[in-house]
Amino acid sequence: MFVPSVPDPRCSGLPLLVRGALVALVTTPATRVVVISGEDACDLEIRINVPGVVYAGCRGLQIHGAGIAFSHPAAVRLRETLPLLTQKLSERLAAVPGVQMETKELGVTIHTCRVDPSTVPVIVAEAEELRRTVAAGFKVCRSESAVDLVPDVDWGKDSSALWVLEQWVQEGRGQPAVVYLGDDDADEEAYVALRERGYAVHVGRPAAAAPHWVIDRAAAIDLLAQIAFAWRVHSVDS
């Protein structure tokens, strides 16, 4: 069971219905829950706080939980560049109102949810300029509410999800039925990678390749609760 998501960093915790659904799923036999996010894996674990969940942070570059662990070695080597990159970004964006910067273990996120939309291209341009001059090992990624500088390695959310899937298979559990639930443009690569492996739901808008979608996060929460209930019933019946 895969549930990729990008939790809102302004929220201190999960809605009770979401937490209850995750607990129900994690405790169901032959089920694994994976949360993939741009946040650090350790922050995900603290805020979600559901034992048994696999946390794939920094866009899947860090993975830990349920007895597995992975950090992309090329991304880890770029950590020493982050202090200078953060300093330069702070200097360049100091005059842009509403900008919130967050230095992560393997990258930097510029939150744009409080920024005038007309200035977002300026932020992207500044990030691209710094990438060229002081952070060549990084790439700029833009989503609905943030601009990220992340290690430019051949490992995205799709690779992360498929890696966890392969760990499951190597444990001798067989080929799992995959349920994907994603709610951000940055998840598109994971959506494409996983929609051929199982049941995929796109949240927020009907993507061109999405046969199943729900209109917003509230509807996604309801769907998650329904999946958890169905999983539990199936487990008891079997």
Helix pair angle (217-237, 16-26), 10° resolution? 30
Q: Which residues contact 154 (CB under 8 A, 6 or more apart)?
A: none
Q: Which two tokens stand for residue 79?
A: 């950590």
Q: With a cut of 70, say whether residue 169 has pLDDT above it.
A: yes
Q: What is the pLDDT of residues 205-220, one digit of tens each?
A: 766 666 677 888 788 8
What was the pLDDT predicted at 149? 95
Instruction: Specify whether the CB–CB gap between 147 and 127 falls below 8 A.
Output: yes
- Residue 18 pLDDT: 86
Q: Tens digit of pLDDT for each residue in 61-114?
A: 999 998 889 999 999 999 999 999 999 999 999 999 999 999 999 999 999 988
Residues 234, 161: Cα–Cα separation, whole Å: 24
Q: Is the pLDDT of residue 19 over 90?
A: no
Question: What pLDDT, on a 0 to 100 scale, did the predictor assign at position 6?
Answer: 40
Distance CA 140, CA 109 (A): 10
Ordered structural domains, the chain, with CATH = 16-72+155-237 (3.40.50.1000), 76-151 (3.30.70.1020)
pLDDT, position 187: 67
Taking the C-alpha atoms of residue 180 and residue 199, their distance in angstroms, rounded to an integer, is: 6
Which pTM was predicted? 0.82
